[in-house]
Chains A and B, each alone.
Chain A
Amino acid sequence: ETGVTQSPTHLIKTRGQQVTLRCSSQSGHNTVSWYQQALGQGPQFIFQYYREEENGRGNFPPRFSGLQFPNYSSELNVNALELDDSALYLCASSLFSKGDWNTGELFFGEGSRLTVL
């Protein structure tokens, strides 16, 4: 079984630009969650996608948007980049059980490190 893979691993952008980060979920998983992790901080929840629909959103502005595809892979898009967007972006896949409302064990990818200059 393949693990969670993210691309790109590192990227540098300038303020105002747009970025797309990609995530391939683990085989058999139906849910992808995206997190932003600043240096020395815990992962901050951005949003979760379950079966191609947004299933939860944290306190992030609308310029953070996402997609989940039929194969359960996902994209995170950030428009109008700001300096504070510099962080490690983590994707985690899981097998969400709506009947139990339990996200389940999160399998994290290695992350995409974004630097905004």
Chain B
Amino acid sequence: QQPVQSPQAVILREGEDAVINCSSSKALYSVHWYRQKHGEAPVFLMILLKGGEQKGHEKISASFNEKKQQSSLYLTASQLSYSGTYFCGTEFGKTSYDKVIFGPGTSLSVIP
């Protein structure tokens, strides 16, 4: 039931855009996005609840397609500080005993 993330890794130059995808084989109730820098704890970016909403956080936004059981994280005009590993976390709601289940991560490197 672990979500699938793509791509596994991406290298960007400063100012470029990136999209990270997260998909599940099971119906989703919510999707979380976190960023983890090397040697640090994961840090919350945003949470999307079912309903197909889109959220934004400065130059980072995300969408959630409930019907397709997918979420995408959009990073625009990337900055060096965006480097890290991005994890999506999925939650299936009251029908499941599972809580926030994380994907394997997408490594993002932003170079000058």
A: which residues have CB within 8 A of B?
A: 33, 35, 41-45, 48, 55-58, 90, 101-111
Measured between beta carbons, the chain A residues less than 8 angstroms from B94 are 101
Residues B42 and A43 in contact, CB atoms below 8 Å apart = yes
Q: Which residue, B43, B100, B103, B104, has most C-beta atoms of chain A within 10 A?
A: B100
Cβ–Cβ contact B99 & A48, under 8 A: yes
Interface size on B, residues (CB 8 A): 26
With contacts defined as CB atoms under 8 Å apart, how many contacts are there between chain A and chain B in the complex? 61
- Whether B104 and A106, one on each chain, are in contact in the complex, defined by CB atoms closer than 8 angstroms, is no
Interface residues of B (CB under 8 A from A): 2, 29-30, 32, 34, 40-44, 47, 49, 87, 89, 91, 93-94, 97-105
**Cβ distance B73 to chain A, nearest Cβ, rounded Å:** 15
Q: Using CB atoms, name the residue of chain A closest to B105.
A: A42
Question: A106 contacts B34, CB within 8 Å?
Answer: yes
Q: Which residues of B contact A43 (CB under 8 A)?
A: 42, 87, 102
- Interchain residue pairs with CB less than 8 A apart (16): A41-B105, A42-B87, A43-B42, A44-B102, A45-B99, A45-B100, A45-B102, A57-B97, A90-B42, A101-B29, A102-B91, A106-B32, A106-B34, A106-B100, A107-B44, A109-B41
Checking B40, B99, B101, B104 against A41 with a beta-carbon cut-off of 8 angstroms, the contacting residue is B104
Whether A108 and B43, one on each chain, are in contact in the complex, defined by CB atoms closer than 8 angstroms, is yes
Contact B97 A106 (CB under 8 A): no
- On whether the beta carbons of B87 and A103 are closer than 8 Å, the reply is no
CB pair B42 A101 closer than 8 Å: no
Of A42, A103, A105, A108, the contact of B99 (CB 8 Å cutoff) = A103
Q: Do A56 and B97 form a contact, CB below 8 Å, given A43-B102, A103-B91? A: yes
